[in-house]
Structure formats: C-alpha cells, structure tokens
Amino acid sequence: MALQGILVVELAGLAPGPFCAMVLADFGARVVRVERPGSHYDVSRLGRGKRSLALDLKQPRGAAVLRRLCARSDVLLEPFRSGVMEKLQLGPEILQRDNPRLIYARLTGFGQSGSFSRLAGHDINYLALSGVLSKIGRNGENPYAPLNLLADFAGGGLMCVLGIMMALFERTRSGKGQVIDANMVEGTAYLSSFLWKTQKSSLWEAPRGQNILDGGAPFYTTYRTADGEFMAVGAVEPQFYELLIKGLGLKSDELPNQMSMDDWPEMKKKFAAVFAKKTKAEWCQIFDGTDACVTPVLTLEEVVHHDHSKERGSFITNEEQSMSPRPAPLLSNTPAIPSFKRDPFVGEHTEEILDEFGFSREEIDQLKSDKIIESNKVKASL
C-alpha cells in the first residue's frame, strides 16, 4: 500500500482528527490512537484500521510515554487548542529535537495563532469565520451549514491529510519533518478559493440563493417526486438543458429562455409540478443513461444497492456487516486496503503497542499499576 511502514500517532479528538488518521490507515499506515483512560469509544466511529492505547497524557510519566512513541514515529496528529501540547512538554521543539524526521500535524479549528486561536468552536463556527457559510443557503432564509462536512471533514481532516502527504513527500528529499498548522477556517476558505476567484463574475451577481449554483436556477436544484422522494437536476449547458426539457415532456419554444433569471421562480414552480407527477423510479426510467444531468437523490441505504455503485464496488462491508464508502481515490498499483475489523475498544492494544515500542514488561506493569496507562485487552474465547 502507498503508506506501508509509516507510523502515525493520533491523539484522540472529535471528527476531523479521527477522519484524517483513518484515511492514513486506509492507505496503509499503522495508526496508534492515544485515548484518555476511562474514555468511551470514538463517537465519530472513524477507528477503522487503528489500534488503541489508553494513556494519561496529563501525568508527566504519561507524557514521557508519548515522547518515546514519537521518537520512533513518522507522524504525530494532535487536535488540541494552541498551547496545550506545549503545556504538557510535548510541543514540536521538544519532539522534533528527539526525532527530526517527525511530522507534527496540528489540526484545529482556528489555528495556532490569531485572536480566536484559544477558543472553543465547532464546524459551523469555522465555516462562518471562513466567509464560506455566508454564501450557502436559500433565498430569504438564514445561511445553512451542510452538516459538518465542509469544515470538519473537507477543510479540516482531508486538508490535513494533504499536508501530511506533502510533508512525507518533501521528507524523502530533505530527510526532515515539519510542523503543519492545519486549521478548518483557512482550510475551508482555501478549498473554496473558486468563490473568491469568481466573486466579480456573473456567477454571483444576484443575492444569496438566487444564482445558478446556490439554488436560484430551475435547472440546478432538487425536485420532489410523486412518492415523496427527490431528483437532482444539474443541466447547465444548453445541450443538456434541451434534454432536460424533453425528458420533462415540455416544449422549449413554450418556455422562457433558460438564462432569463427573472423567470426562474416561475420556471421552478412549473418544473416542480411536472416532477410531482411521477415517482423517483419513473423519472430514473426516463433520465438514466441520458445527458440530461438528472439523477436520483439516493439515500445512504439506497446508494449501496444502486447499479452504478454495485458495478464499481463503491461500498465495503466489515466484520460487523456495516456498509461504508470504499476509500477514494482508486490507485491502480497500490490501492487502499481498508481494515475489515471492527473499531478498537479504548485501550485494547495498549500493552502490545508499548511492547513493540521497546517498553519492558516491568515498565508496562508499573505504568498500569500507577494508572498512567489502561489495558482493556479483549480476552480471546477458548
């Protein structure tokens, strides 16, 4: 696999960090997730392919354990607010003095500096501070955050994986690690560069919710079907728009010009009335296989059984029979091989990990009895 032999230490946090580390694990890295003793499972459920070590970082001897792990690792991923690691004597200066090859990835909401850098926040706050949230939402409504996908996962977790890959690649030349300030405000903004770059173009000349891409256009939105389901329409180009009109059973010469924005509200009502007359399955019969850019809005369950996904094997299962998306993108020679196993329990691999990192049996026992570590080995059934 692409990341064979790469050792990652992930300090447990919410959503963005676990996702970042899961991607690394999917592509072959060995990921050790360090969790607080007594904590529950990863609420984000993104523990695929990882092993769990329960360690109390707040105790000096706990921090010392982490130091030893990082001395032999390639990547450290930490999600804490700026200054927290430094307080634990685990800042980059210290860990990179031990190990100059260490890639120290810091994944936060607001970043390592700036007036907001020590404040709490969530996806919606980072999205708001990035400027991007102000562009998302229907006409006449408040801005709407698309779940926690844009800041937590795209501008956060995924952008951080990118930074780590850049640093790993660069290290093959320089032999040195780096410190990565991956933060969700800047990551989400950078991801959305297109918005700033096209700000003065006609793409955004109307107020929020009245443009082509933000819900204003009748040919770029979703419609409800007779059975309460939805179809997605994305027919921007004239030749695709023609096919849309045809499929709807309408006549272009009886309709206003596609780009006549004043007529869009009326057109939306017209299209909505047509879509409401047939079921999702009937619309798929009409539009599947055409270039009309009309597709069903599949649910999380439906997509697993849809022809296109089935043909491609887009979904994977695991030993618990839960389905989730196969890692992307597909690499021809060294594809990702996501683990089939369930997510680890907290502290399930504490002892085996410390053993691998050179801790003696005596050291491990002492750490356990002093409650610096916790071991929740699952007993093998006989």
Partner 1 sequence: MALQGILVVELAGLAPGPFCAMVLADFGARVVRVERPGSHYDVSRLGRGKRSLALDLKQPRGAAVLRRLCARSDVLLEPFRSGVMEKLQLGPEILQRDNPRLIYARLTGFGQSGSFSRLAGHDINYLALSGVLSKIGRNGENPYAPLNLLADFAGGGLMCVLGIMMALFERTRSGKGQVIDANMVEGTAYLSSFLWKTQKSSLWEAPRGQNILDGGAPFYTTYRTADGEFMAVGAVEPQFYELLIKGCWGMLQFPSQKTA
Which parts of 221-260 interact with partner 1 (CB under 8 A)?
A: 221-224, 230-234, 236-237, 240
Query: What sign does the dihedral 121-157-203-275 (CA atoms) show?
Result: negative
Q: How far is CA 261 from CA 44, 99, 205, 212, in A?
A: 42, 60, 11, 9
Q: What's the token pair of residue 291? A: 């270039």
The answer to the question of residue 270 lying near partner 1 (CB under 8 A) is no
122 given a catalytic annotation: yes
Binding piece for partner 1, criterion CB under 8 A, among 56-64, 86-94, 120-128, 358-366: 120-128
User: Among 69, 85, 161, 367, which residue interacts with partner 1 (rule: CB under 8 A)?
Assistant: 161
* Greatest Cα pair distance in the chain: 85
Say if residue 329 is preceded by a cis peptide, omega within 30 of 0. yes
The answer to the question of residue 175 lying near partner 1 (CB under 8 A) is no
User: Among 89, 113, 198, 285, which residue interacts with partner 1 (rule: CB under 8 A)?
Assistant: 198
Count the residues in the chain.
382
Binding piece for partner 1, criterion CB under 8 A, among 81-89, 220-228, 258-266, 360-368: 220-228
Whether 94 contacts 67, CB under 8 Å: yes
The answer to the question of residue 365 lying near partner 1 (CB under 8 A) is no
152 given a catalytic annotation: yes
User: Among 32, 34, 46, 245, which residue interacts with partner 1 (rule: CB under 8 A)?
Assistant: 46
DSSP code string of 47-98: -TTEEEEEE-TTSHHHHHHHHHHHHT-SEEEE-PPTTHHHHTT--HHHHHHH
Q: What is the Cα gyration radius of the chain?
A: 25
User: Among 56, 214, 351, 374, which residue interacts with partner 1 (rule: CB under 8 A)?
Assistant: 214
The answer to the question of residue 372 lying near partner 1 (CB under 8 A) is no
Whether 32 contacts 10, CB under 8 Å: yes
- Closer to partner 1 by CB, 259 or 303: give it: 303
Interacting residues with partner 1 between 121 and 150 (CB under 8 A): 121-125, 127-128, 132-138, 141-150
User: Among 64, 162, 206, 255, which residue interacts with partner 1 (rule: CB under 8 A)?
Assistant: 162
Q: Closest distance between partner 1 and the C-beta of residue 1, in Å?
A: 8
Interacting residues with partner 1 between 276 and 295 (CB under 8 A): 288-291, 293-295
Q: Closest distance between partner 1 and the C-beta of residue 314, in Å?
A: 5
Residue in 122, 181, 263, 355 annotated catalytic: 122
Q: How far is CA 173 from CA 164, 231, 273, in A?
A: 15, 49, 61
Whether 232 contacts 297, CB under 8 Å: yes
Whether 22 contacts 315, CB under 8 Å: no
Residue in 26, 152, 214, 343 annotated catalytic: 152
Binding piece for partner 1, criterion CB under 8 A, among 32-40, 195-203, 250-258, 358-366: 195-203
Binding piece for partner 1, criterion CB under 8 A, among 37-45, 53-61, 256-264, 367-375: 37-45
CA 71 to chain centre: 28
Catalytic residues: 122, 152
